[in-house]
Amino acid sequence: MDVNARLAQALQHIDSDRQAVTEDLRHMLALDTCFPPGNGYGDFATLMEKILTPMGFSTERVSVPDTLWQTSDGQVYGERVNLIATRPQVERESCHLYFHVDTVPPGDGWTFAPLQLTEADGRFYGRGAADMKGTIVAALAALRAIDAHKLPLKFSPSLLLCTDEEGGLYPGIRYLAEQGHVDGHIVNFNGGALARIWGGCFGSVDLSIRIYGHSTHSGEPLGAINAIEESLPLMNALYELKQKVEQRVSAMPAPPHFNGEPLRSRLTIAAAHGGSKGSTIPAKYELLINRRYAPEESFDEVMQELLACIESAMASSKALRVEHEIIGHLAPVSDPTGPNQPRWQAAQSLGFGYPLESFKVWGSSTSSDMGWVQQAGVKEMMLGGLARPDNHIHAADEYTTFEDIASLAKAILAYLVEDFAPPTGI
């Protein structure tokens, strides 16, 4: 793809920016923003303010009210600080660059320290390196190159650094969209380094179900109500419902690696907790159910089906009570494409070197907090990022590479600047 000399120099600038890229990533990975609990958002906002203010950005902190995200289990706590970073705008279309700043907890099995940057074998290791603090680093590199070469912009970019994407009940981007902070269109960096046109995604509901019994000594269980045993009819009913749910097929195009199989709705018994030792009848048993639902399904129908299953299965139970609570909900995204998609496609082609003809539309049965943004009235959303099948996102030894960060930075730069002229007829 041909580029003019000024744009070519800016792209080469990114390749020479490795030290700044490394230092930005080092500082970001050192801050614990794991969800749960999500207690590090304020510190991360402070770090970003220190980086962005010298670059000419004004910042605004917007916190999600406690009543919208707190749950009864107490596992989530801390102020939900979202940061909006903008520069003085001229008359041009707004473009929001979206990032979630939370990560999943490190988990077990790491070879490297998860909350610090380790460079080894040409890779940058650390929790959030690819998902998705590395994408913030790429955007900063793109902006530095734009400034260094004084490139005029096609879009007025703002950075949205948001909370609680990783399963949060009320993600920060949802609150920003509902409060009117989001207009124009969004480039969402919660995706992969792939030749992909985003076709949308499924919604996701996390439902906690708690069964309460009465504890006694297991050797003399007079008056005991075993919460685990009382849950068995419910477990069986949920498994039967799973078979029914997973017959439902979405019309959304499936990813290439599905090898012709369609995207299906999903029901997963994701966690089960109860009991303490052999001599005690368990008084409480908790199940976590995850339900992935297609854009063709409605949230109300999904919940009605789940609650009917619980009520029917537990109708004759001896349990003292059965409670349920939604502890996470992401709405589905339906057809987020729009008029700027060909430009983003061409920018990714330039950055990563993918042929334009290799780009395909597909959706996903995984989920995104962009569904709430779409429901708030913003339809057009492009997808990009650093995820690859082998870079251990959500697993031990998560990593990305400088080459991928630089490629994403080049795509962001090209998309934002006037000097980039995509081929016609994409």
Indicate if the pLDDT at residue 403 is higher than 70.
yes
| pTM of the entire predicted model | 0.90
- Percent of the chain surpassing pLDDT 70: 98
How much is the pLDDT for 167? 75
Residue bearing the bigger pLDDT, 168 or 86: 86
CA distance 378 to 95: 11
How much is the pLDDT for 176? 98
Q: What are phi and psi of 94, to 5 degrees?
A: -75, 145
User: Alpha carbon of 76 to those of 31, 33, 80, 162, 349: distances in Å?
Assistant: 17, 12, 10, 16, 40
Terminal alpha carbon distance of the chain: 13
Indicate if the pLDDT at residue 91 is higher than 70.
no
How much is the pLDDT for 318? 96
Mean pLDDT of 18-24: 98
Same fold, 5-200+332-416 and 203-330: no
CA 302 distance to own-chain centroid: 22
**Per-position DSSP letters for 30-53, written without gaps between them:** TS--BTTT---HHHHHHHHHHHHG
Kindly report the number of other CB atoms within 10 A of residue 236's CB atom: 11
DSSP structural state of residue 55:
G
**Per-position DSSP letters for 214-254, written without gaps between them:** B--BTTS-TT-B-HHHHTHHHHHHHHHHHHHHTT-B-SSPP
Domain boundaries 5-200+332-416, corresponding CATH code:
3.40.630.10
Domain covering 203-330: architecture: 2-Layer Sandwich (3.30)
Mean pLDDT of 158-171: 91
Mean pLDDT of 189-207: 95
What would the pLDDT profile of 322-339 be if each residue is shown by its tens digit? 999 998 899 999 999 999
405, two tokens = 């960060």
How much is the pLDDT for 74? 85
DSSP structural state of residue 14:
H
Can you name the residues that pair with 217 across neighbouring β-strands?
A: 280
How much is the pLDDT for 423? 83
* Ranges of each domain in the chain: 5-200+332-416, 203-330
